[in-house]
Amino acid sequence: MKENRKIPRLLFAAPKSGSGKTMVVCGMIAAMKKRGKKVAAFKCGPDYIDPMFHRKVLGVESGNLDTYFTEEDTTRYIFYKEAQDADIAILEGVMGYYDGLGGQSPKGSTYDVGKVTKTPVILIVDGKGASVSLAAVIKGMIEYRKDSNIQGILLNQVSSGYYDRIREVIERECKVKVLGYLPQLKHLEIPSRHLGLVSPEEITAFGQWANQVAKELERTVDMEELIKIAESVEESEINRRNFHIPVLEHKVKLAVARDEAFSFYYRENVEVLEIMGADLVYFSPLHDKELPKEIDGLVLWGGYPEKYARELEKNEGMRKDIFNICKSGLPCIAECGGFLYLQQTLEGENGRNYQMAGVLKGEGYRTQKLSRFGYMEAVNEVNGIVQKGEKIKGHEFHYWDCTDNGEAFLAKKPLGKKSYRCMINTSNLLAGFPHLYYYSNLSIIKGFLENCERIHVKREAKKHWDKIAKPIDSLGLMEDYVVKLCGMQNMFHPPSIKKRALMILCGDHGVVAEGVTQTDASVTRIVSENFAKGISTVNHIARYTKTDVYVADIGMDTPSYHQDKLVMGEVVNRKIRRGAGNIAKEPAMTIEECEKAIQAGISLVKELKNKGYEIIATGEMGIGNTTPSSALTAIFTGEKVKAVTGRGAGLSEEGLEKKYQVVEQIIERVKKKHLKKPEEILAEAGGLEIAGLVGIFLGGMKYRIPIVMDGVISTAAALTAMKIAPKVTEFMLASHVSHEGAAKAALSYMGLPAMIHGEMCLGEGTGALSLFPLLDIAIEVYEKMGSFQDYAIEPYQRFK
């Protein structure tokens, strides 16, 4: 960005809507272009339609400046970035000059944008049906704020004879220059439609229209004085703040809908995507029969799908393509019109219902008035492609609604108490009516693009496998795991898993008192200390697989260990409390303790990553922990208790029957309490080491490090983590199918096939470590084996 460059500029405002701002601004742009000036155009506020007119006149993009969406520094950054090469910047106001948030504040108003960008203001006043009163209006507009910066007046809809008389009154009474006028130009007025002005495409001979307006302005307005005012701005110290926009390591290919039905977008959103590393490929849901090939993500912005509902329905090939690719897990953002297109049906302007893409289950229908109109800030309350707690600002303006608008976000109106739920946030889809402004939270868009990047990296890794001189897919899951590792580590070249850790979490369970185990809880401490001494089964496997073993007490019913640092050879203190409650009769822990245990697991991943570990295997120790694992699996999968409850470390028939009863009791209590949130269910029916393992899986997602599942307890924790954050499965590797039925059910539910089927049921991390030699073999082939071309062999082809 060029610095300390003066950018001549004008902001055209008005006391109210309908005063002629769009006509004047389009004519002014055309007039400046005739004078050989390079023009930058902006619209104040969230409007889409007016920038379309600017683009049509300019032949270039037009931007939005909005001080509700962005902080002052960001607003200035956007202005200077987009206007830095222009000879003059022309800004079009929104509504009345001081009209801002909620009709109560000038925040977000045209005045606010002018103040932030230090732009001279030209006030357009509709003179029809008034005379001296115009001076009162203008004087009030100028003096309402001391820094109004109104430096000139243009009168609209006045005759030439009347203009000379009223100009003298205004200049005398208001001490401001009147720079010209426009007569009544009924043949040049812009008609309106239900979303505001018509689109430029709907006006015939648009270029001729703009030139006619420009010609009128040249005839009746002092253009030289306007230019002089524009050039009077002080030299602009361009925002020197280190405004950081994150950039992907690998370019991604986004398919973006753009045609007559989908034409609403913010220029700034397009630029953010491109700066971050997206190549935008435009397609038409109306005219193209299928999506572009090998895309990494999909963007469906707003427009007029209801106007073209019949044509969209007829394009069955595109509808099926979008349905299939969304269901395959491809990341997708859909806003307003794009959101309606993803529904089952949409009511057209003619009142008939038409079939849409069917990705979502709702039905779009026409309303009699604007629905949820205006600014909003939405806070995400569920984990999906957008993480819980993220906020973003947007705007709604639509006469169509839907039977299912989603409930993932809580939207709040600025300066008011009104709030409502909106938007759908799944593992790959962010969809809803709000038009989002990306600069208001770049981290959400970064997260979306990182998901696209993972798709891209995995596709390229799969292409590499297909070039290797062997039958396609012949190594089965070994190939899939390498592809998945490439996606996790964001690299095409062979993934590295040489530095390995096994993290074993240990905790006790009050449910042991119910007779659901063969031994008592004292064994937990003994075995945990054996891990630290290096003398348990898993330690021998760890030495063979070159894996470092760490042991942490997160909830044993023992005094706390003295070692707080994460080191090998000792049991590390991460204790939340001494033992979980007896889940047959009471919660395992409080929700606060559960959250602490989850956070402890996330922190352990961070510590291990900081130590340079590239992959983490999970292990656990806790007498009685197959009982909560069975309960959690039954609750989350809906499987019957007997199908997911096994003998654990060896129960008699009598003990097994007792275990069935206890699991049933737990499930019944969860139902009676109407617990729905995964964290609440985990606190009620889980265990401390299970909650810690949940955190480890979530930490894998947060810090982009592969986490290997072990047996039934680890798998139940993975299932719980998936319920909290569906995207977490992309950072999990299933090692083996435990002999316990709960593990089989959980893996099936998560859609994660395991490579090893060995009827193992020891736990400790033994199954997780057993995966490492197979991964080593797969990476060796991926990295070192030659291609079909190297060996002069005719390549195999993949057939669907």
DSSP 458-522: HHHHHHHHHHBSS-TTTTTHHHHHHHHHHHHHT-SSPP---SEEEEEEEE-BGGGGGT-SSS-TH
Centroid of chain to Cα 136: 49
Q: How many whole angstroms separate alpha carbon 697 and alpha carbon 694?
A: 5
Q: How many whole angstroms separate alpha carbon 535 and alpha carbon 531?
A: 6
Q: How many whole angstroms separate alpha carbon 283 and alpha carbon 487?
A: 27
Name the residue with tokens 């996790």.
488
Q: List residues bridging with 303 in a β-sheet.
A: 262
- Tell me if residue 17 falls in helix, strand or coil: coil
Centroid of chain to Cα 81: 24
Residue 740 · residue 646 · CB < 8 Å: yes
| Active-site entry in 44, 336, 402, 506 | 336
Residue 336 catalytic? Answer: yes
> How many angstroms separate the most distant Cα atoms in the chain?
106
CA distances from 292 to 20, 330, 425 (A): 41, 13, 24
Which spans in 144-253 are helix H?
160-174, 206-220, 223-230
In the sheet that holds 63-65, the strands lie side by side as 63-65, 39-44, 88-92, 9-13, 121-126, 150-156, 178-182
Centroid of chain to Cα 73: 23
- Reference 628, options 644, 607, 611; nearest CA is 644
Question: What is the chain's alpha carbon radius of gyration, rounded to the nearest angstrom?
Answer: 32
Name the residue with tokens 């602009």.
236
Residue 561 · residue 525 · CB < 8 Å: no
Helix 72-83 to helix 110-117 angle, to the nearest 10 degrees?
A: 70
Helix 626-637 to helix 712-724 angle, to the nearest 10 degrees?
A: 40
**Pairing of β 363-366 and β 400-402:** antiparallel
Q: How many whole angstroms separate alpha carbon 529 and alpha carbon 168?
A: 95
- Reference 231, options 70, 397, 119, 353; nearest CA is 119
Residue 708 · residue 616 · CB < 8 Å: yes
Q: How many whole angstroms separate alpha carbon 550 and alpha carbon 553?
A: 10
Name the residue with tokens 């931007």.
63
Cβ-based neighbours of 209, under 8 Å, separated by 6 or more: 188, 203
**Pairing of β 391-396 and β 435-436:** antiparallel
Q: How many whole angstroms separate alpha carbon 506 and alpha carbon 711?
A: 15
Name the residue with tokens 């090893």.
756
Cβ-based neighbours of 467, under 8 Å, separated by 6 or more: 787, 788, 789, 795
Q: How many whole angstroms separate alpha carbon 10 and alpha carbon 233?
A: 9
Helices and strands in the chain, H and E counts: 25, 32
- Reference 614, options 498, 777, 488; nearest CA is 498
Q: How many whole angstroms separate alpha carbon 720 and alpha carbon 717?
A: 5
Active site residues: 336
